[in-house]
Amino acid sequence: MKTTSRKGPIKSSAPLNEDLDRISASLQVLARSFNQARAHEHILREAGVRIDRAGAALLYKLDTHVDSSFRVSELAERLGIDAPAVTRKVQQLERLGFVARDADPEDKRATRIRLTSSGEETLQLVRQAHKKRLARLFDEWTAEDLRTFGVSMSRFAEALTKDMENYRD
């Protein structure tokens, strides 16, 4: 495995245990932070939007495929929850004008769910509130530290994405 230090690449057979312990502990803090309902509710309040965490997750999922629409069953699979829960959330978001249903051209009995412009605007407000929170967290970081962290996080996210694909059904 190859890692880098301030002096350049370091070749080793495995990452150092203390480094992995520090990374693991940090990831646990991140996971708790991302799953904390209060933090999410605070971001939604700061954004001035009236959706819950599950609604925001569904909007994000639709937004990652903005040129696509999905059947409820597809959304349920992508979100890892059951179809009736997605149906209820879609109905709520539809009443708010954040999603719309269109006839499925392949199956006249089914509908496809897509993000509306109002849903896109709502997500933009949430993203702006989230960026404000991140900016506060990085207030005391140097530009170089922030850039380095961003590059490292991107690299880690790519490795994690590849690894997660190994666990798909």
CATH number at residue 133: 1.10.10.10
In the predicted structure, residue 11 carries a pLDDT above the cut 80: no
Residue 118 lies in a domain: yes
Residue 29 lies in a domain: no
Mean pLDDT is lowest, of 1-10, 49-58, 72-81, for 1-10
- Residue 5 pLDDT: 52
pTM of the complete model: 0.72
Mean pLDDT, range 78-86, rounded to an integer: 90
Residue 8 lies in a domain: no
What domain count does the chain have? 1
In the predicted structure, residue 1 carries a pLDDT above the cut 60: no
Residue 2 lies in a domain: no
Residue 168 lies in a domain: no
Residue 13 lies in a domain: no
- Which residue, among 26, 5, 10, has the nearest Cα to 148 in the 3D structure? 5
Q: How many CB atoms lie within 10 A of CB 64?
A: 10
Residue 89 lies in a domain: yes
Instruction: Take residue 149 and report the two structure tokens written for it.
Output: 């962290």
